[in-house]
Chains A and B, each alone.
Chain A
Amino acid sequence: MLPSELLVVWKRKGVIWPRYARLSSDNLEIASGLIEVYKQHIGEKKRVLKEFVGELEDRGHDYRFVRGLSFLLDRNSVFKCNDRVNPVDLRRKTFQATEKFGLPTKPEQRSQIIEKIASELKITPEMVEEFFYADLDSESILEKFDPLSPQELLEKYNLSLTQTLLFDSTELNFTTAGNWQKIFYTVKKLGLIYEAYKDDGFWVKIDGPASLFKLTRRYGTAIAKLLPFIVANPEWTVEAKILWKYTNEICDFKIESWKHHAVLRSYLPPISYDSIVEENFAARFEALESGWRLRREPEPVLAGKQVIIPDFSLEREGIKVYMEIVGFWTMEYLLRKIEKLKKIDVNMFVAVNETLACEKLANLEKHARLNIIYYRDRIPLAPILRYLKGAFQGIQAEQAGFLKNLPVIFTEPFVKFEEFAARIGVSVDAVRAALTEKTPPGYILLPNGLVKKDKLEQIGKKVEEQINRSGRLPLSESIKIAETEGVEDAASAIEALGYRIVWHGISTEKAEVIKPKNKGN
């Protein structure tokens, strides 16, 4: 974050955005030039360093840009006061001497006092002059400089520029692809309030308690602090209202990852697991290869205007089960959590650490129907798998029932199970099971879908013709035939017609469709 006088913006027709430093060769050159200046001034006074920076400022660049970069480089530097003489003591002695010998209005009087002090402290008069105000910031010495690449510097600058603009924000709306727990934890820690809503994706609005009464910049600084956590993800969109102080108008500000990712990157460490328990669970579960896809910190679940961010989601063919791991807890906390969980309409189970239980577990028994699993050192997989299987079967059965009563008439030549399942929102297995049990009239069952009987016959006829004419038929040719009839899964269709496919390698060019001996015309 930069001092606000170094903020550089464009503003037009109620839209405002920071003047980002593109990673152009010009800008990279300025950045690397400045980094060099800092490297070369290790051991020098800050005042001298800043004079050099000042010269770069006046070579045709926006001075605020150069000064902004320098401000960020200061934060990678350690400045130290000279500690050979304590300047405060030195001054005290001198001022006392001034009182004793009279205020020096003539140069001779002054040097007399300086010499007295010098001999008293056993240093030279020059050193008295040198160290008199050595504790001023401008007199401090650049002791250490931690260099960074020019590109990093520009990216840091752009992030800081955005944060500085957000100082004047009254609210922020964002959507992002992950890091949710960290974001909401930070929102709370910063004293902000969020409101989650669906609008072309999952969005969150951020402002503060007093925003209810009037537009206020009060929460701008906190909002700026939140930004790095949002843009640490690969995908995000951030919109804010800026109360521009110079004109007192509200301006819109918007940045999107696909447009600004090149200039704006946050340097937060990758998301780590909150606990060993979580990490251990994830590793063991994935090793099982159960068919369920494990995702950490999935998209939050809306509970009114609030959200619940489960630790994990487990997905399989459109079925989603959430999991929440509760390490340290009190009965009150757990009941509150359960109360919140009851408001949402999703499958969720809660793993509770029983060794850390602060209250009697017996009290919990009555909540057992909320899918509570107890664990000690590590989360047991067996009950989870049992639960998942149950959930899966239960949902499958539910879907099968739904499918059975679904009044549907097919007309297309080929019905792919996967597409149909996605269209009506059930699992592929459920579709397959339902259509196997009751194949619609006029259709023939294939492993991945249904094919219309007359189309299949049409394909059979054409394949037969080709084989009879040239004696052989490459699979690739038969695929073309099937496609002209609107059937995707040519290989299955052809096998269903009683032909055999002989592969000579993996290419469909080389595979051949062969008429078995026992197949008649």
Chain B
Amino acid sequence: MIHLWFDKGTLLLKGEIGTPYGKWDPRVGCYRIKAMHYCDVLSYLEESRIPYQDEVQKLPPLEPLKCSVELRPYQKEALSKWRHARMRGVLVLPTAAGKTFIALKAISLLKSQTLIVVPTLDLIDQWRRRVMECLSVEAGAVGGGENTVRMVTVSTYDSAYLQAELLGNKFMFIVFDEVHHLASPSYMQIAEMYIAPYRMGLTATYERSDERHALLPQLVGDPVYTVNVEELAGKHLSPYTYEKIYVRLTPEEQQTYDSQMAVFKSYLQEKGIVLKSAEDFQKFIMITGRDRRAREAFLARNRALKVALNSDAKLNLLADQLEVHKDERTLIFTLHNDLVYTISRKFLIPAVTYQTPKEERHEILENFRSGEYRAIVTSQVLDEGVDVPEASVGFILSGTGSTREYVQRLGRLLRKVEGKQARLVEMVSKETAEVTISRRRRQKRTSEALNYAPK
């Protein structure tokens, strides 16, 4: 008789025969099989009429679900495509297109033990709330200090990866939210170390710059349904306008910026270093450990950027803008934590960063959602997938400009209110982009831009 059981994220098979999926493990004297092949091994044994004893699954008890989700037509289509692909595959839909609801509907159809894997702790809370609202069942959570496994459980990618040895045989269905994360070398092991035969991936950005999304079909299934922003815009999503406001540094700030940046640039020039990509930059950081002058140059650059970022001029501009939009729901974004706290203190508005205590973060977001708080200032934590509905104005305070993708992502957090278009404003210290051009030319360019000077 063949014995099959789960061993720390893999399957072990003991018996007279091997399987096409197994590999002989001399360390333990058994065949070892990737957990993701669980279903394949079972079908092989069944088809070959080999008697076996299966002790793999250790599933949490089932709980009754009540599904109150009504799908929109395109959501229905997405779900049916997925069902026809033997309940495996990736759905590519833009943010706010209601991916969550498709997954919840799938859970209610399968009625199996389900793990939902998400990138951030905020998303754990959000999914749990949705599970409660739509399926009338309490969801367990793994991550952020919590560790309860229930029929429907939500986990971060980190926890699902780290605890694969313990969780791998507890679910029959896995939903990967923001599934593009799954293709990273470590996270892909989540797909490999869990037995779940049913899999669903959700994302708005299927392709990765490192091409690793090519791995997703074997891990989750093929992309079975794709709809893009343009197809949905206006109908289901709220459009927004985007504008850039250039800010001039104060003379003192400008002087500091120029002199510090000159230190950095002259070092790069002297050494013939070109920083084009993130990788170049990573390599440069490595050099700063060895080379004292590189380190000094790097610190000078950081000082310059800090000046540009925390410019008084920019904060004054923000004050004016906040005055203009006094009664609107407002989100302020900046990538830098220090600046988040500066703004929070200056305007006495709530801040949300990775350092914000969990309860307080929850309370702030809840109050923002209900309308009790009108404005929030935040760093990256909200920029992926978290629903912060009904903000109609967004401000981005960056150093020298943000990437197009980043801006788009933030833009999708905005909603139009009472027919009025949402507005996203980025504030950039324009003059700091290049130090080599002359001051005169710079002045000219600044006035060409929105000509916004500090008071």
- Report the contact-size class of chain A (Cβ under 8 Å from the partner): 35 or more
Given contacts A63-B295, A103-B326, A210-B193, contact A137 B355 (CB under 8 A): yes
Contacts of B186 in A (CB 8 A): 217-218
The count of A-to-B residue pairs whose CB atoms sit within 8 angstroms is 101
CA distance A132 to B23 in the complex (A): 59
A110 and chain B: residue at smallest CB distance: B348
B292 within 8 A of A: yes
Q: Mark B1-44, 1 if CB is under 8 A from A, else 0.
A: 00000011110000000000001011111001010000000000
Residues of B close to A106: CB separation below 8 A: 319
Residues of B within 8 A of A185 (CB): none
Partner of A105, one of B9, B347, B355: B347
Question: Which residue from chain B places its CB closest to the CB of A106 in the assembled complex?
Answer: B319
B323: chain A residues at CB < 8 Å are 105
**Contacts A62-B290, A106-B319, A135-B357 known; A246 to B348 CB distance under 8 Å?**
no
Count chain A CB atoms within 10 A of each CB in B323, B348, B357 and give the residue with the most.
B348
Tell me if A195 counts as interface (CB < 8 A to partner B): yes
CB-CB < 8 A to B272: which residues of A?
Answer: none
- Given A62-B289, A94-B348, A105-B347, are A210 and B10 also a contact pair (CB < 8 Å)? yes
User: B373 contacts A99, CB within 8 Å?
Assistant: yes
Structural contact, B348 and A95, CB atoms closer than 8 A: yes
Give A129 to B344 CA distance when docked, in angstroms: 12
Whole-angstrom CA separation of A430 from B301 in the bound complex:
81
Question: Does B292 contact A60, Cβ atoms closer than 8 Å?
Answer: yes
Contact indicator A104/B355 (Cβ below 8 Å): no
A133 at the interface (CB under 8 A from B): yes
Q: Is B286 an interface residue (CB 8 A)?
A: yes
Query: Which A102-122 residues sit within 8 Å CB-CB of chain B?
Result: 102-106, 110, 113-114
Q: Is the CB of A103 within 8 A of B26?
A: no
Residue of A nearest to B26 (CB): A305
Contacts of B288 in A (CB 8 A): 63
Q: Which chain A residues (59-98) contact chain B, with CB distance < 8 Å?
A: 60, 62-64, 88, 91-92, 94-98
Q: Is B403 an interface residue (CB 8 A)?
A: no
Closest Cβ of chain B to A197, distance in Å, is 11
Contact check, B23 vs A212: say whether CB atoms are below 8 A apart.
yes
Q: Which of A174-225 contact B (CB under 8 A)?
A: 191, 193-195, 208-210, 212-213, 216-218
Picked from A92, A95, A210, the residue with its CB within 8 Å of the CB of B192 is A210
CB pair B374 A103 closer than 8 Å: yes
Q: Is B312 an interface residue (CB 8 A)?
A: no
Minimal beta-carbon separation of A208 from chain B (angstroms)? 7
Within 8 A of B (CB), among A339-371: none
Q: Is B133 on the interface with A (CB-CB < 8 A)?
A: no
* Contact status A63-B341, CB under 8 Å: no
Shortest Cβ distance from residue A282 to the other chain B in the assembled complex, whole angstroms = 33
Q: A104-B348, A218-B189 in contact; A305/B27 too (CB < 8 A)? A: yes
CB distance from A172 to the nearest CB of B (A): 14
Does the CB pair A63–B289 fall under 8 Å?
Answer: yes
Contacts of A103 in B (CB 8 A): 322, 326, 347-349, 374-375
Contact, CB under 8 Å: B322 / A105: yes
Contact between B357 and A95, CB atoms less than 8 A apart: no
- Contact digits for B181-194, partner A, Cβ 8 Å, 1 yes 0 no: 00000100100110
Q: Check: A136 CB closer than 8 A to any chain B CB.
A: yes
A301 on the B face (CB < 8 A): no
Cα A106 to Cα B322 in complex, Å, equals 11
Partner of B349, one of A62, A95, A208: A95
Contact in complex: B292, A136 (CB < 8 Å) = no
Residue interface mask B234-255, A partner, CB < 8 A = 1: 0000000000000000000000
Cβ-defined contact, A8 with B10, below 8 A: no
Answer whether residue B221 sits at the interface, using C-beta atoms and an 8 A cutoff: no
What is the distance, in angstroms, from B52's C-beta to the closest C-beta of chain A? 20
Q: How far is the CB of B240 from chain A (nearest CB, A)?
A: 21
Provide the B160-196 mask, 1 if CB < 8 A to any CB of A, else 0. 0000010000000000000000000010010011000
- Which residue of B9, B292, B322 contacts A209 across the interface (Cβ within 8 Å)? B9
Instruction: Using known A-B contacts A210-B9, A212-B32, determine if residue A58 contacts B27 with beta carbons closer than 8 Å.
Output: no
Minimum Cβ distance to chain B for residue A164 (Å): 14
In the complex the two chains form, what is the Cα distance from A195 to B360 in whole Å? 49
Q: CB-nearest residue of chain B relative to A196?
A: B27
A246 to B285, CA, bound (A): 12
Q: Which of A92, A132, A212 contacts B345 (CB 8 A)?
A: A132
Q: How far, in whole Å, are A103 and B295 apart by their CA atoms in the complex? A: 41
Judge whether A91 and B34 touch: CB under 8 Å.
Answer: no
A-B contact pairs, 27 of them (CB 8 A): A62-B290, A88-B357, A88-B359, A91-B350, A91-B360, A92-B363, A95-B348, A95-B373, A97-B348, A98-B349, A102-B326, A103-B374, A103-B375, A104-B347, A105-B322, A105-B323, A105-B347, A132-B345, A135-B357, A195-B27, A209-B165, A210-B10, A212-B10, A212-B32, A213-B32, A213-B34, A216-B189
Identify 11 new A-B residue pairs, CB closer than 8 A, beyond the known A102-B326, A209-B10.
A94-B348, A95-B373, A96-B372, A98-B349, A103-B326, A103-B348, A106-B319, A193-B28, A195-B27, A209-B165, A210-B192
B residues whose Cβ falls under 8 Å from a Cβ of A: 7-10, 23, 25-29, 32, 34, 165, 186, 189, 192-193, 282-283, 286, 288-290, 292, 295-296, 299, 319-320, 322-323, 326, 341, 344-350, 355, 357, 359-360, 363-364, 372-375
